[in-house]
A and B are shown apart, each in its own frame.
Chain A
Amino acid sequence: MTVYLDHAATTPMRPQAVAAMLPYLTEHFGNPSGAHALARQARAAIDDARDAVAAALGAQPGEIVFTGSGTEADNLAIHGRLRAAGPGRAVCSAVEHHAVLHPVESTNGTVVAVGGDGVIDLEQLAATLDDDVVVVSVMLVNNEVGTIQPLADVADAVRRHAPNALVHTDAVQAAPWLDIADVAAAADLVAVSAHKFGGPKGVGALVTRDRASLVPIIEGGGQERDRRSGTHNVAGIVGMAAALDATVAERAATVARVRRLRDRLTDELLRAVPNAIETGRRENKIAAACHLLFEGVESEALVLLLDDAGLAASAGSACASGALEPSHVLLAMGVDRSLARSGLRLSLGWSSTDDDVDLALKVVPEAVARLTK
């Protein structure tokens, strides 16, 4: 039996989501764009899902664009806005997911530094903002370290210094843990991904407030009010809504329970492993995030030993070949290159238990000791 502490990569599907999806994988197979009863049934399911997702994210139903992933939602926000605005520049933080970083870099945008705690440098942000900037993207929660970004302050700076810019936030890692309706209220564009909160893989959504006009990056049949073509992933969208409903309903209890587990995990690992370093400031992280550096240990080897010991953990993002890349997030936080190769991400989720933490507390110190012999 494997203990799973890689919920930031993906989390088990919520039973409510699976149950909600099954009819749309079987008898309710219609294409929602059609004109017959089966199509209407599918259309109604998407309409209901849109209402639910909008309510959970603090948006109007017409502001929700369903996409094929969180990455697509991020790409639509950056590229769609750049295309709609005409000449203009994108700005993002240095710790963004590549779904934001690459679109910004590939369009000659500006990347703003973060401090040692992983939080965006607001002074540097303000200094780069001007009338040319048309979109500013700062993630709500970082996917590696778990740091929460001061989105309201970012939005405030954008309104003052870049009046033509929309504020986009990648809320993919935030959605399971924070009340998006509240913390992302200042953003014009908000991206989420279903599989991070117990929905299926291959479904995302972008909130696009009224003032946010976008040129689509996928053209075709004009679905999603011409903002994202392609036949709807009906089951996936239904599953996303069901998972988000369950997440919101249980959030307060889950956050409190998981925070206690995470604190025990982190505190005891810091006690058990000499020279372990906790990354970032814990009070500024989501409840599920435990990220540690083990000087002198190669995390590529560490995760394999942990896998052998029955613990699924993560050491950063992999490239196309499957090889781990040195974390651009840690490098941006000023961690040196060799120390950045020693990171371990233990990310908890809605299904995590005390037993999971117990196993991690046994096998992580053993594996680290073996690799530092």
Chain B
Amino acid sequence: MSGGVDSSVAAAVLRDAGHDVVGATMKLWGGESDSGCCSVADVDDARRVAQQLGLVHHVFNFTDDFDSRVVDPYVDAHRQGRTPNPCVECNRHLKFDRFLVRAMQLGFDAIATGHHARVASVDDRWRLCRGADPAKDQSYVLSMLGQDALSRCLLPIGELTKPEVRHRAAALGLRTAAKPESQDVCFILGARGRGAFLGDRIDLHPATVMDAETGMAIGSVDAVELVTVGQRRGLGVGGGDVRYAISVDVGDRRVTVGRRGALDTDVTPLGSFAWVDQPALIGTALRAQTSAHGASSRAIFTGDGLRWAAPVRRVAPGQTVALYDEDDDAVIGSGVA
């Protein structure tokens, strides 16, 4: 229970379905936060909702693991010019591993979260599908889950649309019914931003901005570690056509930019695959989604990446790509660009 409306209603739905439910909040980030998943006010909300629902509520302190499994790798990836998904890594290592193991130790059969996605059992195998609300679907950030985790997790909110979730919360009189959704990365202060967060932790280096067509230096950036492939603002190349970062080379301190067309690609190499059940076969036609809330595109799985049916924008190295079946509903697995 993060203290948000989704996990509040998830707890209520399971309680009303007759499950023996205990609420738990993970304390993940020991530093400053806007609200995210970690602030005291959010823990208070989670505890008050649990009390109102008549549930026992615990707080688990996983800050050490969050640092070592999510924050440190996030910082280290940026040092190498990669752009990771900390929410994916948090789900992989904290919610659906550390927390799941803790729940099993304490004698629970399953964990539940407030994610907008659905888990279904078909012929004794577990499937992960998009949530009922297309606008709120979160299957992307769960796309690295496998059979072991899926067999022991419940996602009751996945059957509801966001308005339905808020309606249920209001009907139950839950204090979180109208609470705004958390945005962005929970351990980064909105007011200071990613640059300041990373600047406190790694050395940031200036870099030359190079035009892909001419090979000429046309500008510079203060911090190459903060440039993401696909970015067009803050590249110091004002005037003329809009340019996008199409590659970032931290070692050579160089950002290469090009026109919109140069950002498109036919193939995206992937690694670090995780499969919901069986690995995809080479040549499988599927749909792939390259960001948490973007649309998916048709592609062929090549064994070490994707060949797109039509060119798509380049995926920033470090980003998770979620793979779906051709119906764009069931998750097959995920890879990292």
The residues of A with any CB-CB pair to B shorter than 8 Å are: 298, 300-301, 304-305, 308, 318-326, 337, 370-371
Contacts and interface: CB of A to CB of B under 8 A. Distances in A.
Contacts of B183: none
Contacts of B95: none
Q: Which of B102, B105, B106 has the most CB of A within 10 A?
A: B105
Given A300-B60, A300-B61, A304-B58, A321 B43 contact: yes
B59 A322 contact: yes
Contacts of A324: 61
20 contacts: A298-B102, A300-B60, A300-B61, A300-B102, A301-B102, A304-B106, A305-B107, A320-B40, A321-B25, A321-B27, A321-B59, A322-B43, A322-B47, A322-B58, A323-B59, A323-B61, A323-B63, A326-B64, A337-B64, A370-B105
A218 to B, nearest CB: 25
B333 to A, nearest CB: 31
Contacts of A325: 61
Give the bracket for the number of chain B residues in contact with chain A.
10 to 19
Interface string B100-132: 001001110000000000000000000000000
A320 B25 CA distance: 13
A323 B27 CA distance: 7
Given A321-B43, A323-B43, A323-B60, 6 more contacts: A300-B102, A304-B106, A321-B27, A322-B47, A322-B59, A323-B27
Interface string B23-64: 001010000000000001001000100000000001111011
B47 A371 contact: no
B105 A371 contact: yes
Contact of B40 (A298, A301, A304, A321): A321
B106 A301 contact: yes
A366 to B, nearest CB: 12
Nearest to A324: B61
Nearest to B63: A323
Contacts of B59: 318, 321-323
A335 to B, nearest CB: 15
B69 to A, nearest CB: 15
Nearest to B38: A321
Interface in B89-107: 102, 105-107
Given A322-B43, A323-B60, A325-B61, A301 B25 contact: no
Given A321-B27, A322-B47, A323-B27, A305 B60 contact: no
A319 B31 CA distance: 13
Of the candidates B25, B47, B61, B106, the one having the most CB atoms from chain A within 10 angstroms of its own CB is B61
A321 B36 CA distance: 14
A305 B106 contact: yes
A322 B57 CA distance: 10
Contacts of A370: 105
A326 B30 CA distance: 12
Nearest to B47: A322
A304 B64 CA distance: 20
Nearest to A320: B40
A364 to B, nearest CB: 15
B4 to A, nearest CB: 15
Contacts of A326: 64
A4 B176 CA distance: 34
B143 to A, nearest CB: 29
A325 B130 CA distance: 37
Contacts of B105: 301, 370-371
